[in-house]
């Protein structure tokens, strides 16, 4: 026996045992099925084949997500596919913020920003009620306004942009 090795399933070098690998693969399949709805129909069929692994299939080594993406960085279509697949496994929305900017006649007249929070995948929609704002009144406030509402995460990735317009006018009562 070499120094630093053991008779157990893993050594000091971090080699994963077959049992550990099977557990990790099962966990990943469950996450993928749960989050992305992938493999739900095939799961029952797979259970009949040698503990969920097709006969003759030899899984590759476990690598980090970053290493997996970097492996084929020259193949653009494969890289996009991997990012989509791996992003499906880790798609928490961290640090979601909103920004609402209002313009009148090309001049910015108002801007509000706020933190909404971090959100995990959920079948039910999240609801967040913002503070009510007072609309200006009077002769100078009347006119047509344009606005842009934007939602970004902490990586400055835009998740939604909405441009809208409204008009403030005198009402006859």
Q: Do the Cβ atoms of 164 and 149 come closer than 8 Å? A: yes
Q: Do the Cβ atoms of 82 and 88 come closer than 8 Å? A: no
CATH number assigned to the domain comprising residue 133: 2.70.50.30
Enter the tokens of residue 69: 């993406």
Distance between CA atoms of residues 162 and 147, nearest Å: 8
Q: Is residue 110 part of a domain?
A: yes
CA distances from 160 to 11, 18, 92, 103 (A): 47, 44, 16, 19
Distance between CA atoms of residues 120 and 61, nearest Å: 28
Q: Is residue 2 part of a domain?
A: no
Give the pLDDT confidence of 55-67 residue by residue, as tens digits: 677 777 777 777 7
What residue numbers bound the domain in which 30 lies?
18-89
Last residue of a domain, one of 38, 62, 89: 89
Q: Is residue 3 part of a domain?
A: no
Give the pLDDT confidence of 153-173 residue by residue, as tens digits: 988 999 899 999 999 998 887
Q: Is residue 6 part of a domain?
A: no
- pTM value is 0.47
Q: Are residues 39 and 104 both part of a single domain?
A: no
Please tell me what DSSP assigns to residue 52. Answer: G
Give the pLDDT confidence of 69-128 residue by residue, as tens digits: 677 667 777 767 766 666 655 567 889 999 999 999 999 999 999 999 988 888 888 888
CA 24-57-42 angle, to 5 degrees, is 70
Q: Are residues 159 and 121 both part of a single domain?
A: yes
């Amino acid at each position: 026996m070499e120094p630093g090795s053991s008779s157990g399933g893993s050594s000091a070098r971090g080699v994963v045992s077959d049992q550990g690998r099977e557990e990790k693969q099962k966990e990943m399949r469950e996450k993928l099925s749960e989050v992305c709805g992938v493999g739900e129909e095939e799961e029952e069929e797979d259970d009949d084949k040698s503990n969920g692994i097709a006969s003759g299939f030899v899984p590759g080594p476990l690598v980090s997500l970053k290493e997996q993406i970097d492996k084929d960085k020259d193949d653009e279509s494969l890289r996009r596919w991997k990012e989509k697949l791996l992003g499906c496994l880790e798609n928490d929305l961290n640090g979601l913020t909103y920004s609402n900017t209002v313009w009148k006649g090309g001049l910015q007249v108002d801007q509000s920003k706020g933190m909404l929070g971090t959100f995990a995948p959920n079948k039910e929609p999240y609801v967040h009620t913002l503070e009510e704002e007072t609309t200006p009144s009077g002769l100078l406030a009347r006119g047509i306004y344009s606005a842009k509402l934007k939602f970004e995460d902490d990586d400055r990735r835009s998740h939604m942009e909405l441009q809208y317009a409204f008009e403030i006018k005198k009402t006859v009562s």
